[in-house]
């Protein structure tokens, strides 16, 4: 079975100019772990929850240093650190995609790639264009369909 048979087509994406806070909300609401970042139909990177957390942490440290310079030593509450994302865009926090799949790969090849990169899903790219995403859930669904006991 090939990636193109199991991938999710037209996945939820963000643009580099999307506010980071909006990307965080999309991840939370959709229960996804990663969002492809697309500009003019081309995959330019990915943004993960971890990227957003790291960016918020960096912003909080900056804010904390500024507070300490004026003599305040209180720590910032978690909710406030999330609001620090409001001045950032996806482009400020995204990472380049570490790996990509192609539609004609076998699911076994895709599974090896996911395992090698320790990720739960990857973008599927053809000629530089994002055509879908494949997740561990997609692979498990394909595996379950091949087992007659699971189908019963």
User: What's the Cα-to-Cα distance from 64 to each of 53, 61, 67, 81, 102, rounded to whole Å?
Assistant: 16, 5, 5, 10, 44
Q: What is the pTM of this model?
A: 0.77
Domain residues for the domain of 90 are 3-151
Q: Digits of tens for pLDDT over the chain (152 positions)?
A: 999 999 999 999 999 999 998 998 898 888 788 899 999 989 999 998 888 888 888 877 777 676 666 665 555 555 555 567 778 899 998 988 778 999 999 999 999 999 999 888 899 999 989 999 999 999 999 988 887 775 55
Q: Give the count of domains, the chain.
A: 1
Q: What is the CATH number of the domain that holds 22?
A: 3.10.580.10
Is residue 29 classed as helix, strand or coil in its secondary structure? helix
The β-bridge relationship of strands 34-39 and 42-48 is: antiparallel
Q: How far is CA 50 from the centre of its chain?
A: 9
Half-sphere exposure of 144 (CA within 13 A, CB side): 10
């Amino acid at each position: 079975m090939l990636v193109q048979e199991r991938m999710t087509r037209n996945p939820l994406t963000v643009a580099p100019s999307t506010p980071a806070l909006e990307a965080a909300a999309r991840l939370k609401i959709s229960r996804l772990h990663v969002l492809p970042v697309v500009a003019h139909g081309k995959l330019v990177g990915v943004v993960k929850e971890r990227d957003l957390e790291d960016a918020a942490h960096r912003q909080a440290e900056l804010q904390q240093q500024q507070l300490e310079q004026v003599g305040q030593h209180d720590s910032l509450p978690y909710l406030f650190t999330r609001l620090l994302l409001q001045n950032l865009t996806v482009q400020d926090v995204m990472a380049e995609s570490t790996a990509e799949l192609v539609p004609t790969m076998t699911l076994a090849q895709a599974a090896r790639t996911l395992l090698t990169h320790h990720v739960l899903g990857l973008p599927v790219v053809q000629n530089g264009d994002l055509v879908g995403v494949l997740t561990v859930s997609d692979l498990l669904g394909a595996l379950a369909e091949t087992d007659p006991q699971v189908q019963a």
